[in-house]
Amino acid sequence: MAIVTSLMSNNEPVIDITPPPSSTFTPTITLQGSITDEDGDQVRYKVNDGEWTEFMDTPISINAVVNLTPGINTVMVVAEDSMGGVRSKSFNVNFINESPVLISDFEYKAVYRNLYFNAVIEDAENDPVKYRISFNSNVLTDWTEYLDTPLNITKFIPESLIMNGYNTLVIDYIGYYGRVFSKVFDIVKKTVESVYVSNTEVFLYDDELKASNIYTTYIKIPKPKGNRGYVKNAVLTLKVLSNNGETGQIKIAPVITDWATESISPSNYPVIDTSKEITVDITNTEGIVNIDITVLAEIIREFESNGGIAIYSNGYEAVFSATNISVNYEYIPTILMLPQQTKHNNVKLSWKPIILEKPAAFKKLSVKRSTNSSFTSSSTVFQTEDIDVTSCTDMNVTEGEYYYKIEIEMQQFAYNGNQLDFDLEDESKFIKSDPHKVQFISGVVKLRVSPIENITLDLEQSEYDPDSIDVADGIISLLGTLE
């Protein structure tokens, strides 16, 4: 007897979906359609990586909302019948969504001290964003919440966090649909305060500087504290950036009015004294150029303003960066200040302070007193090797007329500039050629406060020096300090 086996075939489910749009500006689409099975099998389905439904009788209606991400999305419906038959259907949908954009006023910035950063994040669809700020790999502002756009970002970065040379500022930001973006800004900290300008524009944040008949560069020169002292030498170090091999001349002149990098403007450029300019030959070949500006530094020191120098040219353009200005103020004459605020330098015996201003360039100092200007016979009032001493008192003086002078031994070699008057016998010592004269008597004035401040004295005598003091209601008031 023959045995006959019947093999029944299984038909896969049929998916009938209305095709979605090939592109859309909305973040979701709705799939609509149905699933049938010719064999009457139960069917389950899923959309993309979603969960399977339960097995259900057919026909099955589909009405599914699908979330999209910006760009091309593949949307797939998979159906499986109870006999294991599987069929799928897929569509490509382009979700058109503009990326958020970070806009700033610079991508590269050179600063001398602090950094002020301003930017805005814009999004064409006004989708919210969140952001983070890092500086030299250190997070300064951690991830924010999602914030509405347009979004203004401001950040102050103090100079203590900015290294000399190159630094990196990074703004990371995330769009509403999870896309991550980053923008990197190069920040250079200048070692020299500088800026270059044209007739109509100020270039505050360029690391490079220019000198030509169109562009002028301004550079600050450090001055000694209190604007005291003389310039031994001053060197301006430039790094030439242009490399076309042209040779020409630049002019360098003192600036005689104050200016600040952040406040300079075309309507208020600093004043240049072109009558004192020096001319320097320069070649446009990449490299370091050292320029002696001692004569200019000394001119600038004499001005009360803190102007610095200006660099310009006629018919030649130089492109460079200012890498250093070295000004040596070591050899500053010590100043001897005595009580001489009353007429004929008459002072009360109880007022005997002597004020010294002495830099570290001197390793020995002494104050001497004599009854004659030639100092044929003198007494040492004070002597020290302590460079921090700024005052002393002549304790042993009696009534009479005296002369005072200072003797100094230089710490290094003697400086023979025309600002100082050296003893011909020993050039390692500096002796004031004009000794101070003071007459100590009794009952003239009485000191109330520190002699380096503005002070008030009791009036015990009607004689006074009108250039130094003012008398009102029986009180003598100093018009300045004891300098």
Dist. CA 441–CA 38, nearest whole Å? 131
pLDDT tens readout for residues 102-131: 998 777 777 887 888 899 999 888 889 999
Residue 222 has pLDDT above 70, yes or no: yes
Residues 6 or more apart whose Cβ sits within 8 Å of residue 232: 294, 328, 329, 330, 331, 415, 417
Q: What is the mean pLDDT of residues 422-448?
A: 43
Amino acid at 215: Y
* Phi, then psi, of 86 in degrees rounded to 5: -125, 140
Residue 343 has pLDDT above 80, yes or no: no
Residue 321 has pLDDT above 70, yes or no: yes
| pLDDT on residue 331 | 47
Higher pLDDT, 423 or 321: 321
Q: What is the DSSP string of 295-347?
A: HHHHHHHHSSS---EEEE-SS--EEEEEEEEEEE---PPPEEE----SGGGEE
| pLDDT on residue 428 | 36
- Specify the 3-state DSSP secondary structure of 275: helix
Q: What is the DSSP string of 43-61?
A: EEEEETT------BPSSEE
| pLDDT on residue 41 | 92
Q: Report residue 355's pLDDT band, with 50, 70 and 90 as the boundaries.
A: low
Dist. CA 68–CA 95, nearest whole Å? 6
Q: Which two tokens stand for residue 80?
A: 């499986």
| pLDDT on residue 370 | 82
| pLDDT on residue 169 | 93
Which of 135-149, 201-215, 372-386 is the least confident region? Answer: 372-386
- Specify the 3-state DSSP secondary structure of 411: coil
Residue 20 has pLDDT above 70, yes or no: yes
Which of 4-8, 52-56, 159-163 is the least confident region? Answer: 4-8
| pLDDT on residue 416 | 38
* Phi, then psi, of 297 in degrees rounded to 5: -60, -35
Dist. CA 209–CA 239, nearest whole Å? 10
Higher pLDDT, 299 or 3: 299
| pLDDT on residue 210 | 92
| pLDDT on residue 52 | 93
| pLDDT on residue 75 | 93
Higher pLDDT, 186 or 483: 186
Which of 30-34, 191-195, 270-274, 418-422 is the least confident region? Answer: 418-422
| pLDDT on residue 53 | 92
Dist. CA 459–CA 90, nearest whole Å? 105
| pLDDT on residue 263 | 80
Taking the CB of residue 11, how many other CB atoms lie within 10 A of it? 15
Give the mean pLDDT of the chain.
76
| pLDDT on residue 297 | 82
| pLDDT on residue 140 | 93
Q: What is the mean pLDDT of residues 78-96?
A: 91
Residue 361 has pLDDT above 60, yes or no: no
Taking the CB of residue 256, how many other CB atoms lie within 10 A of it? 19
Residue 6 has pLDDT above 50, yes or no: no
Single pTM value for the model: 0.49
Dist. CA 65–CA 332, nearest whole Å? 84
Task: Report whether 429 contacts 422 (CB < 8 A).
Answer: yes
Residue 329 has pLDDT above 70, yes or no: no
| pLDDT on residue 345 | 52
| pLDDT > 90 fraction of the chain, expressed in percent and rounded | 30
Q: What is the mean pLDDT of residues 72-81?
A: 93
Residue 141 has pLDDT above 60, yes or no: yes
- Specify the 3-state DSSP secondary structure of 160: helix
Residue 446 has pLDDT above 60, yes or no: no
Q: What is the mean pLDDT of residues 322-340?
A: 63
Q: Report residue 225's pLDDT band, with 50, 70 and 90 as the boundaries.
A: low
Q: Report residue 242's pLDDT band, with 50, 70 and 90 as the boundaries.
A: confident
| pLDDT on residue 4 | 44
Residue 382 has pLDDT above 90, yes or no: no
Task: Report whether 205 contacts 110 (CB < 8 A).
Answer: yes
